[in-house]
């Protein structure tokens, strides 16, 4: 996710919080915290994406990106990588 998109989302999140009645005493600090959380989450998703793509590329049989089979494998490997890292 681009920095611009992260900043935009952070501003939208803070605006929604204010609209819902949440009192924010330090807007700069709150914005910074939201940006940091979004950045960290974006990096996490990128690592899961990279792992899923890597697993597909290492398969003996070539699977073409964009096909239904590729998408099914991607989702499977993405979720496996997610569950390895997040214990819910």
pTM: 0.78
Are 82 and 48 contacting, i.e. CB atoms less than 8 angstroms apart? yes
pLDDT at 4 over 90: yes
Dist CA 38 CA 34 (whole Å): 6
Q: Give, to the nearest 10 degrees, the angle between helix 27-57 and helix 68-85.
A: 120
Q: Which helix (H) or strand (E) holds 36?
A: helix 27-57
Handedness of CA 28, 29, 35, 39 (dihedral sign): positive
pLDDT at 87 over 90: no
What are the residues whose beta carbons fall under 8 Å from the beta carbon of 53, sequence distance 6 or more? Answer: 74
pLDDT for residue 29: 96
Say how far residue 2 (Cα) sits from the centre of its chain.
12
3-state secondary structure of 22: coil
pLDDT at 55 over 80: yes
Using one digit for the tens of pLDDT, what is the confidence trace for 31-50?
999 999 999 999 999 999 99
């Amino acid at each position: 996710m681009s920095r611009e998109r992260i900043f935009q989302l952070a501003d939208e999140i803070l605006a929604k919080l204010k609209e819902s009645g949440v009192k924010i005493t330090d807007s700069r600090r709150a914005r910074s915290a939201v940006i940091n959380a979004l950045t960290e989450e974006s990096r996490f998703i990128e690592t899961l994406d990279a792992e899923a793509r890597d697993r597909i590329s290492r398969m003996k049989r070539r699977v073409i990106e964009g096909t239904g089979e590729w998408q099914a494998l991607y989702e499977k490997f993405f979720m496996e990588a997610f569950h390895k890292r997040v214990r819910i």
